[in-house]
Amino acid sequence: MAREDSAGAARLLWTFERRFLAARTLRSFPWQSLEEKLRESSDSELLLDILQKPSGDWITLSESTAIISHGTTGLVTWDAALYLAEWAIENPAAFRHRTVLELGSGAGLTGLTICKACCPRAYIFSDCHSRVLEQLRGNVLLNGLSLEPEATADPECPLVTVAQLDWDVASISQLSAFQPDTVIAADVLYCPEVTLALVGVLQRLSACRRDQAPDVYVAFTRRNPETYQLFTTELGRAAICWEAVPPHDQKLFPYEGHSEMAVLRLTL
């Protein structure tokens, strides 16, 4: 194979590896170009590379085919969860050897990514909807993680918990039991009621750690400017400082609206 063809094949393979088995339809993958390269190749080296060269650990996810199902939107993966998963892969130090609490875990993709790629000490998935919690437990087990503390003998595997957590009624004592070092949430800013509830639970979390407050990262899609303004305004009223995290370079998921995503780092 000529040098130019080899370089083109390498770029094509790299693109394939980063998008294969992503959690969204591969709308932008150049399937026709791949087919032409395979037809032009004098041997099967390119195909063997694609089939045999690993692209890292994978995540298997069960989720609903409907945006709203069983009265909740938490049974599907939303774009900000993909964006935060990418950010976590690029910033593993934010989670390594730490106890992570995820607020509103939904289908669980972000948390499963962190568990597999960022080496947390413990990871707590949480949600309030019974059907979401059931699906979460199934997805945790589907990915080879254990929900039994005594079964986590491997120091490389985090201690995983799935907890029911209603932000409106969660008490300081309930939140204190988690003792998180890092708190994350993705795509939970979609209406004023939920936004206010999120700020409220963050206020209570700030009172839980006597030594040091947890680091907090909130990822969201800029759908409604009023919702974002409400969130930042309420953070100010709660004396919670925030800053925008620079955009990351990872482009693992071919979803649309990349430029409309953002991650805020909060200081409780």
pLDDT digits (tens, 9 = 90+) for 148-191: 765 555 667 899 999 999 999 999 999 999 999 999 999 898 88
Q: What pLDDT score was predicted for residue 155?
A: 66
Per DSSP, the three-state class of 101 is strand
Q: What pLDDT score was predicted for residue 43?
A: 56
Q: Is residue 8 over pLDDT 50?
A: yes
- Secondary structure E strands in the chain: 99-103, 122-127, 159-164, 182-186, 215-221, 241-244, 261-267
Q: Which residue in 24, 41, 72, 69 sits closest to 255, CA to CA?
A: 24
Q: Is residue 243 over pLDDT 70?
A: yes
pLDDT digits (tens, 9 = 90+) for 198-214: 999 999 998 886 678 89
Q: Scanning the structure block, which residue is given the tokens 């008490």?
A: 171
Q: Is residue 142 over pLDDT 90?
A: no
Type and span of the H or E element at 113: helix 109-117
Q: Scanning the structure block, which residue is given the tokens 């599907």?
A: 76
Which residue type, as a one-letter code, is found at position 243? E
Q: What pLDDT score was predicted for residue 221?
A: 86
What stretches of 143-191 show up as alpha helix (H) in DSSP? Answer: 172-176
Label residue 179 exposed, middle or buried (CB < 10 Å: 0-12, 13-18, 19+): middle
The number of helix segments (H) and strand segments (E) in the chain equals 9, 7
Cα–Cα distance for residue pair 76/67, rounded to 1 Å: 6
